[in-house]
Amino acid sequence: MTQEQTVRSAVECSGVGLHSGAPVSMRILPAPPGKGIVFRRIDLDGFEVEAISRNVARVSYATSLMKKGVLISTTEHLLSAFIGLGVDNAIVEIDNLELPILDGSALPFVELIQEAGLRKQRRPRKYLKILREVEMREGNKFISVYPAGSYSVSYSINFPHPLIGKETLQVELSNGSYLRKIAGARTFGSREDEKAMRDMGLIRGASRENCIVLTCDGIENGPLRFPDEFVRHKVLDLVGDLALLGKPILGRIVADRAGHAMHTALVSRILRDKTLWEEVTLSQEEHDTASSYSAHASAGSSL
Ligand SMILES: [Zn+2]
């Protein structure tokens, strides 16, 4: 797609927030070209908060936006689904402070958007094309971006758990790979950390239905959807956090043991330095070239 897209019709769902446990109804509505993704708190007179880096508020176990004291919590899974499906413009109405966690992955959001359908808009889509590399390190955590003609991610994690350990996933995000490889990966947490997190006011909505629950040597609610579901979920989160750039990126991301804080730090670092990138539109021909390159690259990596 070289043009911007929005949803064709309004769709809705409801659930609870992962951290607040608060019940919430959500509606996704079409939006005009150039609008971007905008959250609307219908319980607060329709106050709008744009899904852009400037509104990033609190980032620890989830990415939350805030504008004039109005909070929109845990935005990453829905934003990830929008990027994965190529939705540039949409209004997201919610009637509470946190998005629904649903099954802990982006799949229910993907299915909801597919139910709405997509509508191509007249405005050419602008990409943020990385021109120079950026590398950020914090202790043993690392995140970087390098110039590339398409959007790809290489993510590594190293969790001291018998089912996880070191996992690395390399993925091209165009050409349907997001839907096949990333969208269904669920969030996860351990019984061991549960009490401390609840004491911090977190994961009040967590359950075996919306998160993979790790015990000291296994999982409570198997089977996993992918053997390496954990690192896939990290890619899902990264894609959602990078959506806060405000436009799709052309670049290769490499991350090692990063998290929401580093993802969003990379976003603000990129946006702060305008010599690192340029805005480009793609002709149909360039777009096809990028996609066939992607198809080739992902076929190669699956061997
Ligand atoms: Zn997540």
CA 106 to ligand 1 centroid distance, Å: 9
Angstrom CA distances, 295 to 86, 152, 165, 183, 302, stand at 17, 12, 29, 18, 11
Model confidence band, residue 118 (pLDDT cutoffs 50, 70, 90) = very high
| 123: enclosing H helix or E strand | strand 118-124
What is the Å distance from ligand 1's center to 263 Cα? 12
How far is residue 284's CA from residue 266's CA, in Å, rounded to a whole number? Answer: 29
Q: Could you tell me the distance, in angstroms and rounded to a whole number, from the CA of residue 40 to the centre of ligand 1?
A: 21
> Is 264's pLDDT higher than 50?
yes
Share of the chain above pLDDT 70, in %: 94
Residue 162, preceding peptide bond in cis (omega within 30° of 0): no
Confidence band of 284 (pLDDT split at 50, 70, 90): confident
| Residue 171 contacts residue 269 (beta carbons within 8 Å) | no
CA of 236 to the centre of ligand 1 (A): 7
Identify the bridge partners of residue 254 per DSSP, sorted by sequence position.
144, 154
CA distance 16 to 7: 23
Residues forming the active site: 260
- Measure the CA–CA gap between 175 and 85, rounded to whole angstroms: 10
**The pTM is what?**
0.94
The pLDDT tens digits for 167-224 are 999 999 977 899 999 999 999 999 989 999 999 889 999 999 999 999 999 999 999 9
DSSP code per residue over 128-165 = EEE-S-EEEEETTEEEEEE--SSEEEEEEEEESSTTTE
Ligand 1 (ion): residues with CB under 5 Å are 187, 237
When pLDDT is cut at 50, 70 and 90, the band that residue 60 belongs to is confident
- Report the distance separating Cα 172 and Cα 152, nearest Å: 4
